[in-house]
């Protein structure tokens, strides 16, 4: 696609008031592949005003009609699937197969799920002598990250549209081209002008302006816990609703009796997918002391097979941060089993698939989110020790449990302080709520729970 040198506001591509631009870099070869406007405070205000003006009409649109627009949006994304995958590969560095299956395929499935939910969700219910109405919360400010550029957009925009809200989207500055493609699909789907608006820009400028804007009723943010805290403070000060999907340090608990080879190999694949740039990645593998050495050997062999099969990290800054964590792991006494801080290629922001053994829960690499292809393997003594280690983190986004049977794994999973747990290799479900406990966030995305975030309730007593 040719990048737009404009913002999508009130149903049209318009020049930004700001003259600043953002350069988009291909992380595989470090070449500039496009430039987009770095929208400023005035641009955000124009977009919010357009959303506010469009809100009454869209909120009053029958849910079945909203469902029809969402179905049209899904179809527009299907028609552009190849272009979406190519664009994500270009600006994120994701390998083409992953771009097709996940970065293009998953958002299409999520958009389709909300087309169905918009038509079937009970926006009214009865309780005794009351009628309870579920109404759109209003104007939504959506701030999305770069690691799953289209999925994170659709996971916010689709439920907001289904609910009857109007939206202003500020996508990550590293991956704005995918967001522009999405705006084109929205336009093709025939949404009324102003219902969806796109302002590309920098987080501390456009993102902050959107979070602070008095005419934004809900701020939905996905990204780092540090930025989430600031957005939560701003929204709390203005008494506006906030939805935060933040960091993770998820535990992959392998109980004695599990299929060790399968659990380790799937666990390594989970961490290396998307070059480790996944908030829900199982970055802490917990193994019983009797199986620990075998698990470490299996993990090292699995990681070594990846070689050049994983893509680069999104930026030089991200690459340097991940390398810094690897160096810190070595300095704190963890044992490198695979990979390391050395650059595997001269060009591009690549980091070698890395596995650490002899990791203790106190080490930095076991506590902080690295957001790169780095696995830490921790030893536990018994089930209670495994639970203590698994829950001994400020995060609680995801996790996995492997056991001899599903019932044993599920019993352990019920005791984990985390938002979702995969049992013996259970697959991601786009209809299930996604979100975290503790510092992993506030609120849920996907399915009916994701729709509920964009609704507010009113009761009528008769």
377 bridge partner residues: 285
Pairing state of beta strands 354-359 and 374-380?
parallel
Which of 279, 408, 445, 453 is flagged as catalytic?
Answer: 279
Is residue 318 within 8 Å of 371, Cβ to Cβ? Answer: yes
Rounded (to 5) percent helix, strand, coil in the chain: 45, 20, 35
- Give dist(CA 294, CA 286) in Å, integer: 13
The Cβ of residue 52 has, within 10 Å, a number of other Cβ atoms equal to 18
Question: Would you state the structure tokens that stand for residue 184, as one six-digit string?
Answer: 């084109």
- Give dist(CA 252, CA 237) in Å, integer: 37
Going by C-alpha positions, the residue among 398, 271, 280 that lies closest to residue 339 is 271
Question: Would you state the structure tokens that stand for residue 305, as one six-digit string?
Answer: 């097979």
- Give dist(CA 399, CA 149) in Å, integer: 22
Sign of the C-alpha dihedral computed for residues 165, 199, 430 and 184 taken in this order: positive
Going by C-alpha positions, the residue among 167, 70, 59 that lies closest to residue 120 is 70
Which of 245, 369, 445, 453 is flagged as catalytic?
Answer: 245
User: What is the distance between the terminal CA atoms of the chain, rounded to a whole angstrom?
Assistant: 56
C-alpha distances (whole Å) from 24 to each of 151, 195, 223, 314, 323 are: 19, 27, 19, 11, 22
Going by C-alpha positions, the residue among 209, 212, 113, 202 that lies closest to residue 154 is 113
Q: Residue 245 catalytic? A: yes
Question: Would you state the structure tokens that stand for residue 303, as one six-digit string?
Answer: 């990681």
Question: Would you state the structure tokens that stand for residue 392, as one six-digit string?
Answer: 């001994």
SS (H, E, C) 108-162: HHHHHHHHHHHHHCCCEEEECCEEEEEEECCEEEEECCCCCHHHHHHHHHHHHHH
Q: Residue 384 catalytic? A: no
SS (H, E, C) 206-253: HHHHHHHCCCCCEEEEECCHHHHHHHHHHHHHCCCEEEEECCCCCEEE
SS (H, E, C) 39-78: CCHHHHHHHHHHHHHHHHHHHCCCHHHHHHHHHHHHHHHH
- Give dist(CA 362, CA 176) in Å, integer: 37
Which residues participate in catalysis according to the annotation? 245, 279
């Amino acid at each position: 696609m040719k990048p737009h040198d404009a913002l999508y506001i009130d149903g049209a591509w318009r020049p930004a008031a700001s003259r600043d631009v953002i350069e988009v870099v291909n992380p595989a070869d470090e070449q500039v592949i496009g430039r987009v406007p770095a929208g400023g405070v005035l641009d955000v205000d124009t977009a919010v005003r357009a959303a506010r003006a469009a809100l009454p009409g869209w909120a009053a649109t029958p849910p079945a009609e909203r469902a029809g627009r969402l179905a049209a949006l899904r179809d527009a994304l299907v028609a552009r699937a190849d272009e979406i995958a190519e664009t994500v590969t270009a600006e994120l560095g994701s390998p083409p197969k992953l771009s097709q299956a996940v970065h293009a395929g998953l958002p299409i499935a999520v958009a389709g799920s909300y087309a169905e939910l918009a038509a079937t969700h009970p926006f009214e219910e009865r309780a005794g002598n009351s009628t309870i109405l579920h109404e759109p919360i209003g104007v939504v400010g959506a701030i999305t990250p770069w690691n799953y550029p289209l999925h994170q957009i659709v996971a916010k925009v689709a439920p907001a549209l289904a609910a009857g809200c109007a939206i202003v989207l500020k996508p990550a500055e590293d991956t704005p081209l995918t967001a522009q493609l999405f705006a084109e699909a929205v336009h093709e789907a025939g949404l009324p002008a102003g219902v969806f608006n796109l302002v590309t820009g920098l987080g501390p400028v456009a993102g902050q302006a959107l979070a602070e804007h008095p005419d934004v009723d809900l701020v939905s943010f996905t990204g780092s816990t540090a930025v989430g805290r600031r957005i939560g403070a701003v929204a709390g000060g203005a008494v506006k609703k906030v939805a935060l999907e933040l960091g993770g340090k998820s535990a992959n608990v392998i109980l004695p009796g599990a299929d060790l080879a399968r659990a380790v190999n799937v666990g390594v694949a989970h961490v290396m997918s998307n070059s480790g740039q996944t908030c829900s990645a199982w970055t802490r593998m917990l193994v019983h002391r009797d199986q620990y050495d075998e698990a470490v050997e299996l993990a090292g062999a699995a990681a070594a097979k990846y070689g050049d099969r994983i893509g680069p990290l999104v930026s030089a800054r991200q690459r340097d941060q991940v390398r810094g964590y690897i160096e810190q792991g070595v300095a704190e006494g963890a044992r490198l089993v695979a990979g390391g801080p050395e650059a595997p290629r001269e060009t591009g922001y690549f980091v070698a698939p890395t596995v650490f053994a002899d990791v203790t829960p106190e080490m930095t690499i076991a506590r902080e989110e690295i957001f790169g292809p780095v696995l830490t393997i921790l030893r536990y003594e018994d089930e209670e020790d495994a639970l203590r280690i698994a829950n001994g983190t400020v995060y609680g986004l995801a996790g996995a449990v492997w056991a001899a049977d599903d019932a044993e794994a599920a019993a352990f999973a019920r005791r984990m302080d985390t938002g979702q747990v995969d049992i013996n290799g259970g697959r991601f479900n786009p209809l299930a709520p996604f979100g975290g406990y503790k510092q992993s966030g506030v609120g849920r995305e996907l399915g009916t729970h994701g729709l509920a975030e964009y609704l507010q309730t009113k009761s009528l007593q008769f």
